[in-house]
Structure 1
């Protein structure tokens, strides 16, 4: 139920713009830059509010906030449908950004980690497996709604879907109360540090931020990058379509190795992403295996976001730490379309791919540094 709620929540926020932007622009005459800028604004708002949401989850357990997120996202979509001026459209996406901070992956993972400690890993992996089908389900559904009802009434209809699905799913699936009230947590917290060392914290922030920036850049520019490598639009669309199944497949494989430390999942994730992008840059005719590798690595990224911090802190502290880590990653995501578009416009596709490969390799180095640092962290808990 939580996986389906995430599909609906992501579809009504982060992913809806892909099918909403064109009809909005046609009717209103607003530029695509301003329309997509509204999504960047929502992501930025989400990033700024992530630490506050983490503190609320640590105090309350997160159940009520997650349930309420559907209503906030719905209110934002209703305002989108009522927008006849650009400032109102931007305000609507600001409200959607609040709902994103309250109810998407970061908030859900923080809630599960607070409630169940180390036992949350299986739930996190299962939820990301289900929600991996988000774009496959949401984009055709939203396109059908827009074709049938028009984009304004489609927003109203999707808002109703958010209200009737997210609230009951969260209230039914999650127990009331905070993590300290769940007996399972007491069996998973022994031996963990009271707080995470600052150097580890910022290293994790860097790893998550670089991974989010690369994912956002590829999501926005992949079709254009493939076309610049000599592929037709149809071929580029076909290659892009394999990313979703690859992401889901990698999450299924991770479920089979869930007893291993999440650091190994992190190494596989950043390594596969870097290898896939390098193949695309150096061997354009091998774009399909490159996309297979990249898709598998990116599929593991969502799992790592939830499980790696969980292995390093106590469950009752997890929500606060996860909220603080989410802020730089989300801010990076918000800025990526602007910076990536500028790089592509001024330096071309090859330079853009080269920059993404460099970021991916730096992320591999950061992850190896984290691997070397972790044994020292465990050996010196009194200095944390």
Structure 2
């Protein structure tokens, strides 16, 4: 069902460029910020860096809890306004973080950042595109993940440069300014949509799943995204250390880890091209197998195959990120999409928040054998997706 637009601001390409750039700023200034600033923040506040990463975990949980309500609001009113408000919330949270001199203010700042993340990261962006383009949103969803996939590539060096020049407090303040000066106008560029009171009329259901099996499909997707989210967040936090424990040199481990980002982008290009002709369920199933293939290759072949593992792992991550938007859209249709995605994503926010701690403890006690836990999680996600019925329309819903 194509949504009725009012005041179209630009074509699909312009919308993708604007939203993709705004998403890059949102991710770089929130999720990826502690990787650079956790140590100096903790050092100045006389804390362990664990406190900062723990605050990030709390922010992720808050964002997940907000997801269904944010998605429901986008279903009714569109995402332009909420995404714009998220920039103000991000800015205030970053300014509060820059003023933190104790744990209480640090936690309060990350509470605000968690609210901003719930309103302004991928799930909200995907719901916004579904509200604008209906079942034709698949290409746009892929497009913004291609752009925002460089959030860490851009954000980490920029945050490092700002920290080296001005310190961590000014770095947070500059990111706040970037939200207001750049991300806010980009989000306001998005088309307005006519408010709708519709929830999920039968005619809006996509061809993949009937209303009778909808609840089962949502449970399957929630489990799948939670399982792969655990793998993605857990491995990303310990990847270089894990590869060194397997026998790779520190330089080789860093080289392999550096391949994850390009592999994610390459896989998303593949999804935008060859895989776009198939139902998103096909690419999602393939994505869940990437990590097990990479782990088995690494274990059997030894540390020389660390780059191969990193490429498979990154490729799976890249496609799964797109599937978070395209798969629910193809299975359930655009009506009520935002609320569904919020509900489906909630368990993944929780597993993603706790995965680094859990994986760190497993590596500490069982070493590289913890990789087999990720194989089990990824394989169970594939099995879960295999329980879904074959879509009646085998092509892409785009």
Provide the TM-score with structure 2 as the length reference: 0.88
Deviates more, 1:244-253 or 1:22-31: 22-31
SS of the equivalent of 2:248 reads coil
CA deviations on 1:241-295 (whole Å, 9 max, x unpaired) are 0111111111111111323210111012111222112222332231111211121
**Alignment correspondent of 2:11:** none
For residue 190 of structure 1, report the CA deviation from its aligned partner. 6.8
Of 248, 265, 268, the residue aligned with 2:286 is 268
Structure 2 unpaired stretches of 5+: 1-17
Q: Which has the higher helix share?
A: 1
**Alignment correspondent of 2:327:** 308
The correspondence of residues 137-216 of structure 1 with structure 2, limited to 5 A, is: 137-178=154-195, 193=210, 197-216=214-233
1:342 aligns to 2:364 (yes or no) = no
SS of the equivalent of 1:197 reads helix
**Alignment correspondent of 1:292:** 311
CA distance in 2, matches of 1:277, 1:216: 16
CA deviations on 1:154-191 (whole Å, 9 max, x unpaired) are 1011101011122211111233434789xxxx998675
**Change in CA separation of 1:364 and 1:157 when aligned onto 2, cut-off 3 Å:** same
Of 80, 101, 107, the residue aligned with 1:63 is 80
CA deviations on 1:106-128 (whole Å, 9 max, x unpaired) are 11101111221111000001111
CA distance in 1, matches of 2:111, 2:51: 14
CA distance in 2, matches of 1:262, 1:83: 44
**Change in CA separation of 1:374 and 1:200 when aligned onto 2, cut-off 3 Å:** farther
For residue 102 of structure 1, report the CA deviation from its aligned partner. 0.2
Contact (CA 8 Å) 1:53, 1:102: kept in 2 or not?
Answer: yes
Residues paired across the two proteins, number: 372
For residue 25 of structure 1, report the CA deviation from its aligned partner. 2.0
Q: CA RMSD in A?
A: 2.3
CA distance in 1, matches of 2:354, 2:344: 17
Deviates more, 1:306-315 or 1:270-279: 270-279
Of 85, 98, 107, the residue aligned with 2:124 is 107
SS of the equivalent of 1:312 reads helix
1:48 aligns to 2:65 (yes or no) = yes
Provide the TM-score with structure 1 as the length reference: 0.92
1:360 aligns to 2:378 (yes or no) = yes
**Alignment correspondent of 1:317:** 336
For residue 235 of structure 1, report the CA deviation from its aligned partner. 1.5
1:332 aligns to 2:318 (yes or no) = no
The correspondence of residues 16-35 of structure 1 with structure 2, limited to 5 A, is: 16-35=33-52
Contact (CA 8 Å) 2:234, 2:358: kept in 1 or not?
Answer: no
**Change in CA separation of 1:29 and 1:313 when aligned onto 2, cut-off 3 Å:** same
Structure 1 unpaired stretches of 5+: 379-384
